[in-house]
Amino acid sequence: MGPTRKPTLAVYKFSSCDGCQLSILNLEDELLDFANTIEIAYFLEARRRVLTGPYDIGIVEGSVTTEEEIQRIKEIRRDCTTLIALGTCATAGGVQALKNFGDVTQFIETVYPNPEFIQSLPTSTPISEHIKVDLELWGCPVNKYQVVEIITALLQKRRPFIPQYAVCLECKRRGNTCVMVAKDVPCLGPITQAGCNAICPSMNRGCYGCFGPLPSAEIDAFLPHVKEKERYPGEAVRMLRMISGNAPAFCDAAEILLKEEA
pLDDT beyond 60 at 1: no
**Residue 150 in contact with residue 87, Cβ under 8 Å?**
no
141: burial class by Cβ within 10 Å (0-12, 13-18, 19+)?
buried
67: burial class by Cβ within 10 Å (0-12, 13-18, 19+)?
exposed
Distance of CA 57 to the CA centre of its chain: 18
CA distances from 220 to 116, 194, 227, 240, 253 (A): 42, 19, 11, 13, 7
* Residue-wise pLDDT tens digits, 135-152: 999 999 999 999 999 999
Cα separation, 202 vs 213, in Å, equals 20
* Residue-wise pLDDT tens digits, 183-212: 999 999 999 999 999 999 999 999 999 999
* Residue-wise pLDDT tens digits, 113-142: 999 999 899 999 999 999 999 999 999 999
pLDDT (0 to 100) of residue 3: 58
Quick check: bond before 201 cis, omega within 30?
no
Cα separation, 107 vs 110, in Å, equals 5
pLDDT beyond 60 at 107: yes
Contacts of 30 (CB under 8 A, 6+ apart): 144, 148
